[in-house]
């Protein structure tokens, strides 16, 4: 990670640009609602209006048909995916939402705040979300946890909290052409493949890396209690919190 970049530039390079590049592939992996998020949405008062800040492909926007939710995301690539599902969405930065203040009954922001690259910007983002809620409105926020010892990632206490997380963008392999015209080409290709069998593992690895492209996304891994401190500094009241799927979450209420 280029430490010479300022916070805004770092997020542009390691968050916004990357998500636009991987948007379609990323969207294909995001389709099932997490239980606590689903429960939060299904327990909102009927006909409530809300916002999903960092909505991605919009997978939460249709969870409860009795709610009206406006989704926003900084990635126009992901917003285009959400539009394809017929959702009400817009491109917008999480620190400059166009919505009027004191308007919405609730908000969700799932796996978004951890992409802001300084403590001040993470706190500001929570404060900005709360500013859009009516007094007494609640926001559910999820962030990646540092404590992931039992996951495949293996992050744990004592490790750096600011990390670059890889996303392997697999390139589509061309379909085999079985026409007579290409029989010789196929035989030559088969011969090439046979010749690579005895190549050293290092050469095979290099070839694989050429076929796939790895993109790196910036994350701040939250320690236990850190999200709650950010929420309180932002002026919110934490009414529920916990751990789910390698994430810390908090329900934050706007004071009345």
Q: DSSP secondary structure string, 174-209?
A: PPP--SGGGHHHHHHHHHHHHHHTTS-HHHHHHHHH
Which residues 6+ apart lie within 8 Å of 135 measured at CB? 102, 254, 255, 256
Residue-wise pLDDT for 213-226, tens only, equals 999 999 999 999 99
Domains contained in the chain, CATH given: 7-150+219-253 (3.40.50.150), 169-215 (no CATH)
pLDDT at 84: 84
From 27-31, 88-92, 105-109, 170-174, the region with the lowest mean pLDDT = 170-174
Task: Reduce the DSSP state of residue 26 to 3 states and report it.
Answer: helix
Cβ(80)–Cβ(56) under 8 Å? no
Residue whose token pair is 């997490």: 34
pLDDT bucket at 105, cuts 50 / 70 / 90: very high
Per-residue confidence band for 25, with pLDDT thresholds at 50, 70 and 90: confident
Contact by Cβ (8 Å): 238, 249 = no
Q: Give the strand pairing for 162-170 and 212-220.
A: antiparallel
Are the C-beta atoms of 226 and 119 separated by less than 8 Å? no
CA distance 14 to 164: 8
Q: Which two tokens stand for residue 95?
A: 């620190």
Cα separation, 142 vs 202, whole angstroms: 39
For residue 46, pLDDT over 50 is answered with yes
Residue with tokens 């636009």: 20
For the chain, give percent helix, strand, coil, nearest 5: 35, 25, 40
- Which pLDDT score is estimated for 85? 85
Contacts of residue 31, Cβ cutoff 8 Å, sequence gap at least 6: 59
Mean pLDDT of the chain: 87
Residue 211 pLDDT > 70: no
Instruction: Give yes or no for residue 48 having a pLDDT over 80.
Output: yes
pLDDT above 50 for 93: yes
């Amino acid at each position: 990670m280029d430490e010479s970049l300022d916070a805004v530039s770092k997020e542009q390079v390691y968050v916004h640009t990357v998500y636009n590049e991987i948007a379609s592939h990323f969207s294909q992996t995001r389709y099932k609602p997490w239980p606590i998020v689903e429960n939060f949405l299904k327990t909102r008062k009927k006909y409530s209006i809300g916002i999903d800040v960092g909505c991605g492909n919009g997978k939460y926007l249709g969870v409860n048909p009795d709610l009206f939710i406006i989704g926003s995301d900084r990635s126009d690539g992901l917003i285009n995916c959400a539009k394809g599902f017929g959702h009400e969405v817009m491109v917008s930065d999480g620190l400059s939402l166009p919505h009027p203040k004191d308007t919405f009954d609730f908000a969700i922001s799932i796996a978004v705040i951890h992409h802001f690259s300084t403590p001040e910007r993470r706190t500001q983002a929570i404060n900005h979300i709360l500013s859009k809620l009516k007094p007494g409105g609640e926001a559910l926020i999820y962030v990646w946890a540092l404590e992931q010892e039992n996951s495949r990632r293996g992050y744990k206490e004592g490790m750096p909290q600011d990390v670059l997380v890889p996303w392997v963008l697999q390139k589509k392999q061309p379909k085999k052409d079985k026409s007579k015209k290409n029989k010789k080409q196929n035989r030559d290709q088969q011969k090439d493949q046979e010749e690579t069998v005895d190549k050293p593992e290092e050469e095979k690895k290099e070839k694989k890396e050429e076929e796939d492209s790895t993109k790196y996304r910036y994350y701040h891994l939250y320690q236990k209690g850190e999200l709650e401190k950010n929420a309180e500094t932002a002026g919110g009241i934490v009414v529920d919190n916990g751990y789910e799927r390698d994430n810390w979450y908090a329900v934050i209420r706007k004071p009345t």
